[in-house]
């Protein structure tokens, strides 16, 4: 059934595919560097938020759970960035 909610989920899927292709293009076209690392990590954070909030359905649950997932991506991504900038 093509409800508005399903159509919205389809748009989120499309956004995730575009962000994945962007990540691939960055890996193919741009040589190594801090900008690449930070932009790819930022894309991962956005994708993680889209999946957690709209696919996993955390958008309407307590802010604590959304905060945990966001915190996970910020802490893990931040530590990866620190290791790469070391």
What is the closest distance, in whole angstroms, from the C-beta atom of residue 76 to other proteins in the complex? 5
Whether the Cβ atoms of residue 51 and residue 9 lie closer than 8 Å to each other: no
Q: Is 26 in the site for other proteins (CB under 8 A)?
A: yes
Structure tokens at 31: 């040589």
Structure tokens at 52: 């957690």
Q: Is 28 in the site for other proteins (CB under 8 A)?
A: yes
Q: Scanning residues 57 to 86, which ones bind other proteins (CB under 8 A)? A: 57-58, 60-62, 65, 68-69, 72-73, 75-77, 79-80, 83-84, 86
Q: What is the Cα–Cα distance from 5 to 21, expressed in whole angstroms?
A: 25
Query: What is the per-residue burial (b if ≥16 Cβ within 10 Å, else e) of 33-48?
Result: eeebbeebbeebbebb
Residues of this chain that bind other proteins (CB under 8 A): 1, 3, 5-6, 9-10, 12-13, 16-17, 20-21, 23-24, 26-28, 32, 36-37, 40-41, 43-44, 47-48, 51-52, 54-58, 60-62, 65, 68-69, 72-73, 75-77, 79-80, 83-84, 86
């Amino acid at each position: 059934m093509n409800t508005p909610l399903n159509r919205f989920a389809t748009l989120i899927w499309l956004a995730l595919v575009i962000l994945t292709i962007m990540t691939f293009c960055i890996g193919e076209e741009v040589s190594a560097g801090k900008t690449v690392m930070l932009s790819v990590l930022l894309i991962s954070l956005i994708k993680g938020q889209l999946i957690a909030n709209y696919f996993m359905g955390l958008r309407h649950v307590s802010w604590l759970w959304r905060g945990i997932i966001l915190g996970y991506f910020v802490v893990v991504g931040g530590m990866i960035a620190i290791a790469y900038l070391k």
